[in-house]
Amino acid sequence: MKNSGAGAKRILVVEDEPAICDVCQRVLTSEGFEVDIAVNGKVAQDKIQGKDYDLILIDIRTPVMNGKQLYRYMNEKHPELINRIIFTSGDVVDGDTQSFLELVGKPSLPKPFTTEELKAIVREALRQVEK
């Protein structure tokens, strides 16, 4: 699912913390991206069904459906999106989270992160997707 060349690249941010949603929305929009927010994996599922996304930032811990569950869903139902994922997490020292991140081998951005770190990981992820 690639954006059709015209228009801004689309990023879905799956995050339940309003302050982080605001930062991601503000920073990524100012970089020229179209940004949608989903407060959990269930909301993200609906958005993924309705739109094509160039990147998806997924918080590991969200209510209702967490990032690990969303990843499994995407791997099964939307495997074309698997290489477009960046995980975020505030608990990178947690053994389960660390093991999961190592297992899936996707880029991750530990919280708290700076706006520069956010921009850099998004740019790099897009470069990888476009190869």
In a domain, 5, yes or no: no
pLDDT tens digit at each of 131 positions of the chain: 334 445 789 999 999 999 999 999 999 999 999 999 999 999 999 999 999 999 999 999 999 999 999 999 999 999 999 999 999 998 766 788 889 999 999 999 999 999 999 999 999 999 999 88
Domain with residue 16: its CATH number is 3.40.50.2300
In a domain, 62, yes or no: yes
Q: Cβ(107)–Cβ(121) under 8 Å?
A: yes
Q: Taking the model in full, what pTM does it have?
A: 0.92
Q: What is the DSSP string of 21-89?
A: HHHHHHHHHHTT-EEEEESSHHHHHHHHHH---SEEEEES--SSS-HHHHHHHHHHH-GGGGGGEEEEE
Provide the domain count of the chain.
1
